[in-house]
């Protein structure tokens, strides 16, 4: 039996299945938001909507692992949000982000910590000229993926005997504060900062630290 071929087939099926499930989730969320929006517009419940993409960077530190290793470093990522405006000062919706810390201190290049989280958000905003300051919180869930390589080289094809791969789901509470700037009738630039509190079965998940986001928002 060609175990390599079987492994490739299983891996391909897993990736394909995961991709299909993600696409289905996005479609369901989109259809749900569209249905709510259409119904709400008829009843005049929703005053508008907004959404967009953001890049972010930050600094992560501390860690949960049995190796007495403290992962730390700059993190970079991307994500986005979609919000429905229910009043002149309150809006709610969804958001999700990926964030990766490349690790090099006391560990081999190629090691990293990756975070993915998504959830429902609610925030309050105000209009001051062309500025829209806001403060809010996102509640949801996510996954931390850690890969630590203590010996070896990421560029070779050798098995690494001293490497560890670990995944940890968590409950996410993410308070944030930011400001939007109106560029045009429907376009705004946004700048915000947050501190993700990832909570797992043993307490507060680490690494943790602040992030700063910058991106664009389309609003109506």
141 band by pLDDT with thresholds 50, 70 and 90 = very high
Give the chain's length. Answer: 220
Is the pTM higher than 0.85?
no
In tens, the pLDDT along 171-193 reads 999 999 999 999 999 999 999 99
CATH code at 46-219: 2.40.160.20
In tens, the pLDDT along 70-81 reads 889 999 999 999
What torsion, rounded to 10 degrees, do the Cα atoms 49, 55, 58, 61 define?
Answer: 90
CB 52 within 8 A of CB 217: yes
In tens, the pLDDT along 18-47 reads 455 556 555 556 655 655 555 555 566 789
Could you tell me the maximum CA-CA distance found in the chain, to the nearest angstrom? Answer: 70
% of the chain beyond a pLDDT of 70: 80
What torsion, rounded to 10 degrees, do the Cα atoms 79, 90, 84, 51 define?
Answer: -30
pLDDT at 5 over 50: no
Looking at residue 160, what is its pLDDT?
82
Looking at residue 114, what is its pLDDT?
94
Q: What count of other Cβ atoms lies within 10 Å of the Cβ of residue 5?
A: 9
Looking at residue 13, what is its pLDDT?
39
Query: How far is the CA of 104 from the CAs of 71, 101, 113, 142, in angstroms?
Result: 9, 10, 11, 24
Q: What are the residue ranges of helices labelled H in the chain?
A: 3-43
Q: Measuring CA to CA, which residue among 60, 48, 159, 157 is closest to residue 115?
A: 60
In tens, the pLDDT along 50-69 reads 999 999 999 998 877 888 88
The per-residue pLDDT of the chain, averaged, comes to 84
Q: Cis link prior to 186 (omega < 30° from 0)?
A: no
105 band by pLDDT with thresholds 50, 70 and 90 = confident
Q: What SS3 class is residue 9?
A: helix
Q: What does the block give as tokens for 126?
A: 């105000």
Looking at residue 69, what is its pLDDT?
84
């Amino acid at each position: 039996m060609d175990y390599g071929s079987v492994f490739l087939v299983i891996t391909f099926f897993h990736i394909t299945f995961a991709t299909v499930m993600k696409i289905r989730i996005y479609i369901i969320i989109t259809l749900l938001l569209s249905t709510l929006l259409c119904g709400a517009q008829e009843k005049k419940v929703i005053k508008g909507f907004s959404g967009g993409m953001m890049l972010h960077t930050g600094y992560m530190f501390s860690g949960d692992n049995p190796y007495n290793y403290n992962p730390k470093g700059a993190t970079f990522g991307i994500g986005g949000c979609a919000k429905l405006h229910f009043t002149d000062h309150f809006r709610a919706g969804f958001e999700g982000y990926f964030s990766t810390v490349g690790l090099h201190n006391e560990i081999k290049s190629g090691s990293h910590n990756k975070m993915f989280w998504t959830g429902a958000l609610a925030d309050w905003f105000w209009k001051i000229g062309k500025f829209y300051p806001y403060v809010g919180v996102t509640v949801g869930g996510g996954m931390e993926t850690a890969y630590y390589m203590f010996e070896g080289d990421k560029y070779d094809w050798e098995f690494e005997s001293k490497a560890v791969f670990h995944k940890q789901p968590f409950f996410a509470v993410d308070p944030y504060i930011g400001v939007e700037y109106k560029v045009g009738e429907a376009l705004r630039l946004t700048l915000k900062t947050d501190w993700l509190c990832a909570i797992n079965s043993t307490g507060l998940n680490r690494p943790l630290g602040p992030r700063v986001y910058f991106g664009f928002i389309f609003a109506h």
